[in-house]
Amino acid sequence: MNALKKYGPWTIRAIISFVFFLSAIAKLYPKPSYALTSFEVHQLEPMGIPLEIAAYLSRFLIGIEFAIAILLLLPFFLRKIIIPATVLMLVVFIVELFYEIFSSGNQGNCGCFGTLIEMTPLEALIKNVISVGLLLGYYWLDKKEEILSFDLRSRAHFSAIFNVLTVSIFGVFLAAPIRREAPTTAPVVPVEKTMEDSVTAQKKDTAVSVQLKNADTSKVVKPLEPKEVLSGFETLFPNINKGKQILCFFAPGCDHCRATAKAITALKKSNKQFPPVNIIFMDEEPELIPDFFKYAGSEYTYSVMDIIKFWKTLGSGKEVPGVMYLWNGNLQKFYQGIDKEQFNSSDFKKVLNKRFS
């Protein structure tokens, strides 16, 4: 019991400090600006927070996490300020996770540890409840009294807390500066909208086929290919709505994107009638684009899009690498991310050879 009271408080502080530090680092993985915009688009915006505000809020929250990780290891007003503030922050997260599970179910990655460690909302909820329990246990193990006063020692402690907060928050802003939206001719057409237009166009083609069949029962005329529609990307790629086309969403420094581009190049070399490949690159490390093409084994037509517009165009909840197969502007297949919906060469061969009906 004596050993528990002697080492327990420090152990609890070290564990919670590590959790907050890992959470902050993970939200900046693998690249700060890329990871933060992904966090803002996939976690904060669905909560109703405008992206203009989310850009500041994400950096502020991560700065607070870094500060808590540090302050939990310092002996400054732990019982009176630091631990209550930490518990309050965890309670806010718990309430948000309860709402998310209730409204959307226990689906997807909650974003607590970014893409470094994916957790469902329920797993994150359990983690936060355990953390609150440990912090409350600290009060039982460590009963030292703390006096809030305005003497020189207390002012020095307040100053230390303020300095840690300031450095932590501004450090995140320096590591990932907020990027002003660059002017671009790129349209913002979410993939969901492209799919909706494609389905509508195909329904119209089916209706035409039925009308022709009713007009002359001796001959059934079916369109050999879908009717041409506007995909929304013709401003970037003038011929994107002509015939079969491949449109990719890549980040220049993304290893998975590079592997996907290499797989597409291999398919292209084995098929002389392979569709033209067009790429929209995220404006994150654009200087790596030449090296990207070198790794892929071929160069393709491309455009660079502002990070936030890139995520909006890719669509809510979607991840890179993204590969769209278009036929006369109609979306036939969409691969995204690195899980069950990821690009698959064997599957794409079948999709590419499939006749229109």
pLDDT in tens, the chain (357 residues): 677 877 889 999 999 999 999 999 999 988 888 888 888 888 888 888 888 898 899 999 999 999 999 999 999 999 989 999 999 999 999 999 998 898 888 887 888 898 888 899 999 999 999 999 999 999 888 877 766 667 778 888 899 999 999 999 999 999 988 876 544 444 445 455 554 555 454 555 544 444 444 445 445 555 588 999 999 999 999 999 999 999 999 999 889 999 999 999 999 999 999 999 999 999 988 999 999 999 999 999 999 998 888 988 998 778 899 999 999 999 999 999 888 899 999 999 999 998 887
Q: Tell whether 105 and 238 lie within a shared domain.
A: no
**Which of 150, 175, 200 lies at the terminal end of a domain, its last residue?**
175
**Which of 110, 144, 175 lies at the terminal end of a domain, its last residue?**
175
Q: Tell whether 157 and 270 lie within a shared domain.
A: no
Q: What is the domain-level CATH number for residue 318?
A: 3.40.30.10
Among 347, 153, 196, 146, smallest CA distance to 260 is for 347
Q: Tell whether 201 and 312 lie within a shared domain.
A: yes
Enclosing domain of residue 301: 191-353
Q: CB of 277 within 8 A of CB of 263?
A: no
The pair of structure tokens assigned to 200 is 């509508």
Q: How many domains does the chain have?
A: 2
Q: Where are the alpha helices (DSSP H) in the chain?
A: 2-26, 32-39, 51-71, 83-104, 121-141, 152-175, 191-215, 255-270, 289-296, 307-314, 345-353
Q: Tell whether 169 and 296 lie within a shared domain.
A: no
